[in-house]
Amino acid sequence: MNRFSRILAVIAALLAIVLALLIGLPLLFQDRIAERVKTELNQNLAARVDWRHLGLGVFRHFPDLTLRLDDLTVVGVDRFKGDTLASMRQFGMALDLASVLRNVLGGGGTPIVVRALELNQPRLSLIKLENGAANWDISRKTPAPGQPQAQGSKAMTVSLRRFDITDAAVRFDNRQSKLKAWLARFNQSLTGDLSQKQVTIQTRAGADTVSVTFAGMPYLRRVKLGLTADVQADLANKSYTLKDTELRLNDLRLGVSGSARAAGKLLDLDLAFQAPSTNFRSILSLVPAIYAREFEKVKTSGSFTVNGRVKGEYGDSVFPGFAISAKVNDAAFQYPDLPLPARSIFLDLSLTNPGGSLDSTVVKLDRFHVLLGRNPIDAGLELRTPLSDPNVDLKAKGKLDLADIRRTVRLEGIDRLTGTVAGDFAVRTRMSFIDRKQYDKVAASGSVDVENLTVAGKTLPHPLAIQQASLRLAPAKAQLTSFSGSLGSSDIQASGSLENLLGYAFRDDDLRGTATLRSNRFNLDEWRSGEGDLQTIRVPPKIDFAASATVAELTYDKLKFTNARGRLRIKDQRITLEDFRMGALGGEIALNGLYDTADPAQPKFDVNLKLAKVDVPSAFQAFTTIQKLAPVAKYAAGKVTTDVSLSGVLGKNMMPDFQTLTGRGSLATSQIALHDFPAMNKLVDVTKLQLLNNPTMQDLRAKFQIRDGRLNVEPFAVKLGPTVMNVSGSNGLDQSLSYTLGLQVPRSLLGGGANQAIAGLASQAGKAGIDLSAAPQIPLDIQLGGTVTNPSVKAEVGSLASSVTKGATQAVEQAARTKVSAEATQLVQKAEQQASEIRQQAKAVADKVKIEGYRQADSLTEKAGSNPLLQAAAKPAADQLREQSDKKAADIVSEAGQRADSIVAAARRQAGQVTDGR
């Protein structure tokens, strides 16, 4: 190897070592640096800072070290606990490598030098409360509790040369000054060496969408923003002078000049701006409906001027003075392919404030005039003290032929627009007058009238038509004296009143009102989505509205309701129904409850539903809830009365999320028949009892609960021909069955296959020591499982002791628990009759027990014959058998008597016939 080759090899080795160090050093110190950065941030910020991943490298900003934090979040503490102040896809920081190594190796005593910052997709939510507390004020004046005082004078210094923001979204809500702003897709780049005392800072910024409202009044709406500024900064004296600065709002360009200087905790401002162009086109671009659609093709004429000044101190408790004016003189605009221009446009608007407080702002619209077709529109406004007590003087007059609007302005998605809107009104008041109901100090008069309005297009689900509507203004409220219109094929008539219109417009207060609504026919099917589901309807906020409604015919899917009437309340993004009744399914439905969309992603409901004598097959076809929770209704015929309370969450198709469904209720029917119910068919196969073949059940009374995806039925008894069946158990949303049935089968019903099946079951009971040979009824215990369409059945004979009075007792107890109505007397009579049956059945069983005992005793005596010794031994045993038989018979009669008496007493109490001092 020659000398030159050796030199090259050494150089290559050195480069490899350097490269290895550049790669290895960041990895070596990455964890220590990450811990150091997180500790410093959380000690010095009143917020919780976290990130998913920290990365270090040297190549992006060589020779500086790049620190990158992925998925960074800053979450508030104390009064803003849990609120996310900022989230960021990626945060990048370029650090001077030498300062980092000195800081790490020296134990943290050396400051780290920051060269550049990069923020990628930050999302900021900036909130200032009414008391002045701001969620962005997170710098600590002292260390966090439990944290040691930082050693040394500083841990980080800034020698910033570049600051970049990419694709930011910012929400600003200053509730103290009632100022709100929204920015979307905001980008900014800032360059300048901030390590110097004197530096020129260049910044370029822009946002696709900016909106600003103040005291409830919109000033900018979906405006495109641009900013170009060169700032001469004196960092030592904290003074900044603007040079070559331009602010762009859509097509409006404003030249800005002046200075800003820090004065303690305040900022001393002296700024001026004006529009270099006087073309009306520039200010027209601030109208969203016009700027958004082929604005470059719009022809304009006329002139305008905009200028303003901001001068004074700005801080937490003070606001600088300002004066802004905008004037338009005899302007016009026209789309080239639309026949009608808007012309004779005049505007004279000013915003002034002497300084000190935003509440000193005065807004004056001295003149607004425009001519659309042959109809002029004029308006004026003066607004004072917008924060503390808005003082409003508003007037407007004009008439709109809506067809002229469509001939003047492009309306996306509107295919038809006709009719007229005429208004002539004036309002002069302070909001405090309305709040205190001092209507004698309020001047409000005028009217708004609508005739033959029709709106149709792709943006509307269904055409809207208003044949006639009249709104009359008065100091206390606005009266809707008449309204007649239609929405799709549904007609609507209304009258009522609106309160607090000014508070709603200027202070974001609730709009209150009352109304009476009527409709001959309202079709909910027209509000279904393309898939046939009802679309989620979001209840608007800031509305407090009460109405009584009557709908002669209400249609949804295959269901038609008649004579629907009731009351509804709209408040807090919730609709509450009160005593809403309608005829349907051959009976009547009564509904009370609420629909809540405070969380629009998961609307909630809580209702009480009463169905009175409705047809079961019709109800099954109409209600998915019945199909899911009561699948047996598919095989039932008859009429039922139910009282059900349900609550849960609705899905996007306005159907309940059945897994969240909870509730309880009751069901009653005088007679219901089952046809081809698979579970009953399977039970017939097992028992051969024709009694269970397509049975008709009478006097059914049941209570149930809905929880954890199952309908749980409390034990109840139902009359089934000449006998009684006891039922308890549950079924699930998955159509699973888990029921226990108790059945008393009279011997008179046994025969053929049924007799053989029961005999087999009785034989099993005999092996268990149960003798049913003397019982007038055979008790069957049945376990019903599987699913609705594929059931499983297990049957066995029950015990005699539990079957003597079980069926009749439960039937009477259920009747006694039923709410007493006008037939209270019949209820007690029925209880007494059934109690008598209990006693008769018990006596019959007791007689048979006694006869069987005496027969066995006589048999012992007969077997002794004439032998004295055998007779002496058999007599005590026979006497004991007779004594045991007498006791068993007496116990059966006594138990039945007690049950019968308690049932009758319960029925009398339920019927209000007990005379124990009431």
pLDDT digits (tens, 9 = 90+) for 239-254: 999 988 999 988 889 8
Helices then strands, counting H and E runs in the chain, come out as 14, 38
**261 in Cβ contact with 237 (< 8 Å):** yes
pLDDT at 554 over 50: yes
CA gap 206, 228 in Å, rounded: 9
Mean pLDDT of the 775-797 span: 80
Mean pLDDT of the 54-70 span: 70
List the Cα angle 223/224/228 in 5-degree steps. Answer: 130
pLDDT at 11 over 60: no
Model pLDDT, residue 912: 58
CA gap 432, 391 in Å, rounded: 9
pTM score, two decimals? 0.61
Please, which pLDDT band fits residue 626 given cuts at 50, 70 and 90?
A: confident
* CA-only gyration radius of the chain, Å: 43
Cβ-Cβ contacts under 8 Å for 696 (sequence gap 6 or more) = 671, 672, 673, 674, 720, 721
CA gap 127, 125 in Å, rounded: 6
SS3 for 654? coil
pLDDT digits (tens, 9 = 90+) for 691-740: 788 888 888 888 888 888 888 888 888 888 778 888 888 888 888 888 88
pLDDT digits (tens, 9 = 90+) for 406-441: 888 877 778 888 999 999 999 999 988 888 888 888
pLDDT digits (tens, 9 = 90+) for 90-142: 988 887 766 766 665 655 556 667 788 899 999 999 888 888 788 888 776 55
**581 in Cβ contact with 609 (< 8 Å):** no
Mean pLDDT of the 815-840 span: 59
Q: Does an H or E element contain 226, and which?
A: strand 217-234
CA gap 715, 741 in Å, rounded: 10
Cβ-Cβ contacts under 8 Å for 602 (sequence gap 6 or more) = 649, 650
pLDDT at 763 over 90: no
pLDDT at 803 over 60: no
pLDDT at 915 over 80: no
Model pLDDT, residue 652: 63
**DSSP H helices in 491-552:** 501-506
Model pLDDT, residue 240: 92
pLDDT averaged over every residue in the chain: 78
pLDDT digits (tens, 9 = 90+) for 855-891: 776 766 666 665 555 555 566 666 777 777 777 777 7
